[in-house]
Structure 1
């Protein structure tokens, strides 16, 4: 059970963010008082910016396994539904921590520490996750971010919106079947690194780019401010919305949904991290108003 969630607001000047202790999830992001983050209307999707751990995506039958030991685990893991402890807060930054407990060990048999930090510097928001393996054995996991931003952006109704990859690539797209990753790959929806968003793109769920999307992109309309993203140690990218919903999720991941028919082992999931005992890994993204 978790305590009643609390929130902390960080930032000064033009960019501000509010973060909840439930899931260490960002609840709001605004620039000059204008919201940029999806507000979590459950009529479409109740999330806003969850962190995904220790799996990204779904497991077949919602069952995972570690070295043959099976347990039930819902899509995207348990961190987003867990109460984090606020361990540091100041005007421009905060840090929340989640550690293994009896409930987590029942489904994921590791001692771990997960720290989520949010920091604002001028017009840049930085979000960082640090995972530590405090167990005696190798710890498999996936880690991902799932922030949802308004679409259309404020003041940009009626305009086309684009996502442009920094590397100018045209990565192939993977799709899900029943929430599981298939081996099929489709032609890239990007042309010279640019994709014009269309709600019809999401009729078959998320567009997933296992490789090649690079370490940064920009999301913007034809005019007005845009959002420039940078990714750290997050090789996979997903774009998701619900047809007709006024948001788009820009999701950098290290790890993906289970492959269809590949079994329940976390270690067998594409891009899973296999973290040796006593070691840690960091992952992060930044958003700059441009």
Structure 2
């Protein structure tokens, strides 16, 4: 597929690179963390079919169809998107996986002992972008065998001023960027939450809302960016085993979304 897909309307522009959201601008002001800047090396990824450091579970996920080998945050990121439809304001992309296909792990050998990853279920994972007025909606449609266990998280990074003065408002509570930074690799959990306001410094605030996930976590390695991550499960509080008993079960088709509104 073409390297870049551009969505635009009178005030806003969105740039997608191989399925990754690399830019969302309103009136030429950028709201997405730029790859190559300090902090995290990406602009967004999806975490699937597991969330968290699965090394504590010997890189194994137990399912009724046998143990699967996975790595931190799953292996969906190792698959490539195919663009299936696009116009000025909408784009649809899909990743398709055939059960038990061996996938090369990009973390091996420097950051992982597992060279190949696999999953004992077929699935299609569709990512949809829709731009309308000052709102970008990103929808995920998971199609799989009914009863397939999974965790899902979305991991977009937002551009900040690098002053440390931004705050996040959730259910009336203000959370400082310093508090999020100090949470470290476990991230800052906002359980049973589906909406925040990111109060930006020097530009419009963002209302970020989610459907289908149920929880959020906030993470930053530096004050120039913030990841706002909707998740189906938060795994850092416990030593839970990665097995279908601790995961969601597919309904055959499951739909999730994040909506980013410039205020």
Q: Does TM, scored on the shorter chain, surpass 0.5?
A: yes
In the alignment, what sits opposite 1:262?
A: 240
TM-score by length of 2: 0.84
Secondary structure of 2:184 counterpart: coil
Pairwise CA distance, 1:68: 7.0
Assess if the C-alpha contact under 8 Å between 1:206 and 1:239 holds in 2. Answer: no
Ranges in structure 1 where 5+ consecutive residues have no aligned partner: 169-192
Size of the aligned set, in residue pairs, is 247
Pairwise CA distance, 1:273: 1.6
Superposition pairs of residues 196-275 of structure 1, within 5 angstroms: 196-198=176-178, 201-202=181-182, 204-209=184-189, 211-212=191-192, 214-221=193-200, 224-242=203-221, 244-257=222-235, 260-265=238-243, 267-269=244-246, 272-275=247-250
Assess if the C-alpha contact under 8 Å between 1:55 and 1:255 holds in 2. Answer: no
Superposition pairs of residues 1-290 of structure 1, within 5 angstroms: 6-21=3-18, 24-41=19-36, 44-59=39-54, 60=56, 61-67=58-64, 69-101=66-98, 102-103=101-102, 107-133=118-144, 135=145, 138-152=147-161, 158=163, 160-165=165-170, 167-168=171-172, 193-198=173-178, 201-202=181-182, 204-209=184-189, 211-212=191-192, 214-221=193-200, 224-242=203-221, 244-257=222-235, 260-265=238-243, 267-269=244-246, 272-276=247-251, 279-290=252-263
Partner Cα separation in structure 2 for residue 285 and residue 75 of structure 1? 22
Assess if the C-alpha contact under 8 Å between 1:142 and 1:256 holds in 2. Answer: no
Secondary structure of 2:217 counterpart: strand
Secondary structure of 2:185 counterpart: coil
What is the aligned-residue RMSD (CA, Å)?
2.5
TM-score by length of 1: 0.76
Secondary structure of 1:204 counterpart: helix
